[in-house]
Structure 1
């Protein structure tokens, strides 16, 4: 009985001690299963002795000589129940220990498989993020690269679900004491988190750089387009005043002065666009710089065209005699066409004119580019607005008699214009 009692204490201690895994591989699981199998064989070897003791106790309970008193009978019954309970507990613990080892292996396999898939994706993603096409590239290439990395960033965020699953599995292993003493499982979990954080920061940094690069160009294009829309609207309004408006001269002069004021207020904005474009050209690739230079030249030509028309038409109106209250004066297209044939560079672009209401040029003096543009002033900007095509023929009002001085001035302008036309041919 004493030897059985010592064995019971020993086996209970062995079965109640926690499992200690040195590593997280199949060999370690097999080692633990072998140890458990030895315990199980030891338990089975002692099963006969335990059964004999239990049978002996049962015999003693029915032996009147052995159990002559109630106290002796109670003592034997208590010992029998205790031995039976401990034996059943030992058998159950042995089974649970084996099942725990097998379950630990399944949990490890699931963790390692999920980690392997995540690490494979992580390696591929780190390779993609290591070689971004984000410096020294064209604007169109940067736009495509930005779209690519925006999609890649979404993939990185979506992979967070898989990473959280790995973290959840590791937390369970750690909580249930199923981790290895070499801390390989912990290193894998922590390494995955650190690498994902580094990847996310890398992708965010690349996207910030690409968005900054493309954003500067887009801001420039947006500002330039808004000025072009504004110029087109003014071009159309000026055409309407010249050819279709039934207002008198004073009303037209008032409208043109509002145009002059609007131009004056927009001068700084146009200059900023040119400065912004030139700064971008210095930082951009040659092909992008050529595109932006062409866009700036187009904007400059269109500004010269529209502002020049406003200035010339305004000068024409202020030279006309004021109309009587009952008389409405209109200008002939022939006169306007003669004035519009004048050199724009001799108009408002040389600074503030001495005559009242002159315009200050809003365009920067950009050296060679401005000279080339003045040489190309006869070219069209590509926008076929009513102001940039041939004037609409209107019938001349013969009933309206201009002063003789104005007629002589018109004749001189016509002669000068014809002479310039012959010289050009």
Structure 2
């Protein structure tokens, strides 16, 4: 209702009523009736104007709030699009090999902090929508805004889960690779020391035969004790190769592992030969 359009007519009607009340040739009973009518009309007109102003205020508020939410949804949707593209680009731009995996992990860690900070925006828009519906329950009667927010939340959840799972996966692979490298290095050092001892026993030692046999048995026992570590290194190498992580670096490490296993095999043969 356009209240301004009817204001002139209502003002004229009320003025007429007040003028009639000032007439002296009207019966008192009629004057009393006119007085009540004018008073009632004034009260209803005032109430109607207040109601219309209230509805207009609410409508303006809803419109402003809806416009703000619409702008926020569009902004957050663009933000998620940018994040999704960035996530795709991280792997492509991180580089190859082990260093590439480390670069990717570091980039994702930084990206995760960005997502944690942006999560406040996602929560904020949901809270704003809930607040509008609390104040104006019929504001989103067709669920348009609700469905758009639901879609944003779904995309946001998928994005965060992808980052979380990728970080978890990369961290595990880097941990396995680190253990693999450390264990392999320690085995190589151990084998070098064992080879030196065996060489001394073969060519330089003047110890009695029974002492040499005892030392050879000790070497056999050491080799048996190292079997668990050797199997662990092989298992790590196979896992990493299956994940195609650091292909070039692992090829080198696998060559070292193959070389180590061959040297250990040769050393075992030398021990067996000396025992004869």
Same fold (TM over 0.5): yes
Q: What is the CA-CA distance between 1:298 and the residue it aligns to? A: 7.5
Choose from 148, 152, 163 the match for 2:122.
163
CA contact (8 A) 2:216 2:275 kept: no
Contact 1:281 1:288 in 2 (8 A): no
Whether the aligned pair in 1 keeps the contact of 2:95 and 2:103 (CA below 8 Å) is no
Q: What is the aligned partner in structure 1 of residue 148 from structure 2? A: 188
The structure whose residues are more often helix, as a share, is: 2
Q: Is the 8 A contact 1:111 1:166 kept in 2?
A: yes
Could you say which residue in structure 1 is the equivalent of 2:233? 273
More contact order relative to length (CA 8 Å, sep ≥ 6): 2
Measure, in 2, the Cα distance between the counterparts of 1:103 and 1:44. Answer: 28
Task: Measure how far apart 1:129 and its partner are.
Answer: 3.0
Deviation at 1:165, TM superposition (A): 1.2
SS at match of 1:179: coil
Q: CA 1:351–1:87 in structure 2 vs 1: closer, same or farther (change >3 Å)?
A: same
Which whole-Å CA distance do the structure 2 matches of 1:44 and 1:93 have between them?
19
TM-score (norm 1): 0.49
Pick one of 22, 26, 46 that aligns with 1:88.
Answer: 46
Structure 2 match to 1:53: 17
Measure how far apart 1:225 and its partner are: 4.6
Q: TM-score, normalised by structure 2?
A: 0.70
Show CA shifts across 1:162-206 (max 9, x none): 011111222233331463666442332222122212222333343
Matched, 1:140 2:99: yes
Whole-Å separation in 1 of the counterparts to 2:222 and 2:112: 45
Q: Does 1:118 align with 2:82?
A: no
Tell me, which stretches of 5 or more residues in structure 1 are unaligned?
1-35, 239-248, 305-343, 357-425
Tell me what 2:254 maps to.
293
* Cα separation, 1, equivalents of 2:14 and 2:67: 39
1:41 aligns with 2:5: yes
Deviations 1:314-333 (A, max 9, x none): xxxxxxxxxxxxxxxxxxxx
User: Given the alignment, which residue of 129, 137, 157 partners 1:197?
Assistant: 157
The answer to whether the 8 A contact 1:40-1:94 is kept is no
Distance in 2, Cα, partners of 1:291 & 1:99? 74
- What is the CA deviation profile of residues 339-377 of structure 1, one whole-angstrom value per residue up to 9, with x for unaligned ones? xxxxx94x5345756749xxxxxxxxxxxxxxxxxxxxx
Asked if 1:174 is matched to 2:133, the reply is yes
Structure 1 residues 172 and 282, CA gap change in structure 2 (3 angstroms)? closer
Larger Rg: 1
Q: Which runs of 5+ in 2 are unaligned?
A: 198-207
Quote the offset at 1:55 in angstroms: 5.4
Q: Distance in 1 between matches of 2:141 and 2:242?
A: 60
2: distance between equivalents of 1:295 and 1:47? 102
User: 2:62, 2:187 → 1: CA distance?
Assistant: 70
Count of residue correspondences: 261
How far did residue 107 of structure 1 move? Answer: 1.3
Displacement after TM superposition at 1:269 (Å):
1.9
| Of 110, 113, 123, the match for 1:151 | 110
**For residues 218 and 34 of structure 2, what CA distance do their matches in structure 1 show?**
119
Question: How far 1:125 sits from its partner (Å)?
Answer: 1.2
CA-to-partner distance for each residue in 1:285-306, whole Å, 9 max, x for gaps?
54123331354367669x86xx
Contact 1:281/1:289 (<8 A) preserved: yes
Structure 1 residues 261 and 147 mapped into 2: Cα distance closer, same or farther (>3 Å)? same
